[in-house]
Structure 1
Amino acid sequence: MKPEQTPLVSVVICFLNEEVFLAESVNSVLAQAYTAWELLLVDDGSTDGSTALSKQFAEQYPAKIRYIDHDGHANRGLSASRNVGIQQATGTLLAFLDADDIWLPNKLSMQVEIMQKQPKADVLLEATEYWYSWSDPKKEDIPKLIGAEPNRLYEPPQLMYHLYPLGEGEAPSMSGMMIKTALAQQQLFEESFVNMYEDQAFLSKLYLHATVYITSSCSHRYRQRMNSIMHTVQQLGNYSQIRAYFLKWLQNYLDARQIHDSHLRRLLWKAQLPYRSPLAYKGVKLLSSYFPKYINKYLYRI
């Protein structure tokens, strides 16, 4: 590519006590075929060796890598840490990489090319490889497409209808995203979501306000491990509480911005039903197995 065709990409890696995996993630950025990037390593108050490790990377590559932490080396959560990275990004495009995931070497070159060919796109999302073999070579890695037709543009709020957390389609991984930095700086992460569902709140804002291109390509690996945030939350039984909080936040967000899309409101109402009246919801689900045609009409009525 000629210089004018190589926009700077700001890469944001936020981490909290990720000494075991952080170097592998950073090295996957260093290995990119596309070289017009800067890397912001945002430390969310780590107490293990990942702080020293990230500072070593910044010292070794001072023109490419910056180390950032919160005042007083505080732990402020993933949303606040991502916002710090977004606000300090200087590139025209921005990409996130979770501190335990990795990119394949063509990730940035392929996505920049797509963004250039799709000038209307504000955001690019790709398929995800669920990476099991890192811990057990006998396990098969599973590529998963995003749950909407790939290789096309979506205008707002179409993806809200198709994708989790309101639709049934597979959600994207943050490590596979590329977004215009100016948009990310307008639609920041919601800091009331500390370490769970923060991606879904951010993605929902993008689906509601941005033009999104979905590609079937997959250039990142999403590490599957037992001590991940999602697994821990499910083990503790807190998932329902966090999902109910998200749905209430989404309702308030739609109300505040006077978004009255009827199909979107029906999907939200259906998603909230188990939390409004759990016993009634169980009854409706039981009846739906016998009278699906009629009960499904009820589920979609406000």
Structure 2
Amino acid sequence: MVEQINSKPLVSCIIIFFNAKKQNFFEEAIESIFAQTYENWELLLADDGSTDESTAIALQYAQQYPDKVRYVEHKGHQNRGMSATRNLGIRHAKGEYIAFLDADDLWLPHKLEQQVPILESHPEAAMLYGRTQFWFSWTENNPVNSWNSENGQDDLMTITSAKFDTLIRPTTQLLLFLQNKEIYPCTCSILIRRQVFKDIGGFEEDFRNAHEDMVFHSKVFLKAPVYVSSECWDKYRIHPDSYWRHADMQGKGVEIRRIGHLKYLTWLENYLSEKEIKVPEVWKALKKAQFPYRHPILYRLIRFIHQPKRYLIILATIFWHFLEKPIND
């Protein structure tokens, strides 16, 4: 059993994985937790029914470091998706705080050392997160990932809020996400109190992949304050074998995102109704976000009309039509 070290709270670090033996990403993710300057942590390696070598890798770490690492899996080694596997890790967690890391991403060494004191000093905050580095340049000795080198795309930081280094009250972050799908926290960045899962429930298991994180975050944003930092504590590796990049390279990414976003909005509407949440600003933002899906033809027409250049094209077409039309005596 992991005990308190110098009265510092225990952090349960959860890595979910499924067939994660791609290059050395899985081992690098695990080692980035071992490299933490904050010492009082435990690691749960939650297996989503892997069929490759990653199960053996996880078991080896658990056997080698039994006081720090535990291996957990679904009954019968089932594959149940990301949400169910995060919940699996949460159920086995012993820490006061919980942090997530995907099997192909990295934490910077000072992540927990800097994050824990922030949450400790803001007891009203349910969770904390910062900005995340979209890590294109992970390829060794190559400033740009080789598969993406033709695009010349450099690393960049996510935009997670309109305000930073402050406590943000409920619904504010949800409203931002409804207005702009690019403003959201990466799961590998958050540190959250375990009590929050008891208060609002865990991840929604109907969401196996897309938007599973924002479904859970939305429940938090509706209920409790969150602290948003301008610091970067993690790297989100961009590589061709990731779920989203694989979908994009197959030409399915846009449609998967569209379907996932619509499913998320439908879930949010049902959740607001079920919990009898009647915040007018949230409902207004939700209806606006749903409009393109519910009225696609009208939405396209409105977008067409509201672009100034469109007026010139329409007027020029009409003028040309009459200019070319024969005049009958």
Cross-structure match for 1:116: 120
Structure 1 residue 40, shift from structure 2 partner? 0.4
Q: What does residue 196 of structure 2 align with?
A: 183
Matches within 5 A, 1:129-148: 129-135=133-139, 137-139=142-144, 140-148=154-162
Q: Confirm or deny: 8 A CA contact 1:196 1:229 kept in the other structure.
A: no
Write the distance in 1 (CA, Å) between the matches of 2:300 and 2:247.
23
Q: Indicate the residue corresponding to 1:298 in structure 2.
A: none
Residue of structure 1 equivalent to 2:282: 264
**Which residue does the alignment assign to 2:54?**
50
Aligned partners of 1:286 and 1:232: how far apart in 2? 32
* Aligned pair partner of 1:288 in 306, 326, 329: 306
1:121 shift after superposition: 1.2
Q: Determine helix, strand or coil for the equivalent of 1:272.
A: helix
Residue of structure 1 in register with 2:42 after alignment: 38
- Identity of aligned pairs, percent? 39
1:239 and 2:257 are equivalent in the alignment: yes
Distance across 2 between alignment mates of 1:288 and 1:160: 27
Q: Match of 2:76?
A: 72
Secondary structure in 2 matching 1:54: helix
Poorly superposed stretches of 4+, deviation over 6 Å: none
Whole-angstrom distance in 1 between the partners of 2:279 and 2:48: 37
- 2:18 matched to which residue of 1? 16
Superposition TM-score, scaled by structure 1 size: 0.91
2:273 is the alignment partner of 1:255: yes
Which is worse superposed, 217-226 or 2-11?
2-11
In the other structure, the counterpart of 2:92 is 88
Deviation of residue 99 (structure 1)? 0.8
Report the alpha carbon displacement of residue 169 of structure 1 after superposing the two structures with TM.
5.4
1:174 aligned partner: 187
- Whether 1:199 aligns to 2:213 is yes
Counterpart in the other structure of 2:320: none
1:290 positional shift: 3.8
* Contact 1:126-1:145 at 8 Å conserved across structures: no
Cα separation, partners in 2 of 1:95 and 1:167, compared to 1, 3 Å: same
Query: 2:43 is aligned with what amino acid?
Result: L
Unaligned runs of 5+ in 2: 145-153, 310-329
SS in 2 for 1:216: strand
| Distance in 1 of aligned mates of 2:206 and 2:21 | 26
Aligned-partner residue type, residue 20 of structure 2: E
How big is each residue's C-alpha offset from its partner over 1:52-99, in whole Å with a ceiling of 9 and x where there is no partner? 000000001000000001111000000000001111111001100011
Larger CA deviation: 141-150 vs 74-83: 141-150
Residue of structure 1 in register with 2:317 after alignment: none
Write the letter of the residue equivalent to 2:91. Answer: Q
* Higher alpha-carbon Rg: 2
User: Is 1:145–1:216's contact at 8 Å kept on the other side of the alignment?
Assistant: no
Deviations 1:272-301 (A, max 9, x none): 11111111110111122249xxxxxxxxxx
1:165 is displaced (CA, Å) by 4.3
Match of 1:277 among 274, 295, 302: 295
Instruction: Kindly state the Cα deviation for residue 135 of structure 1 after the two structures are TM-superposed.
Output: 2.4
In the alignment, structure 1 segments of 5+ residues that lack a partner are 292-302
Name the SS of the counterpart of 2:231 in structure 1: coil
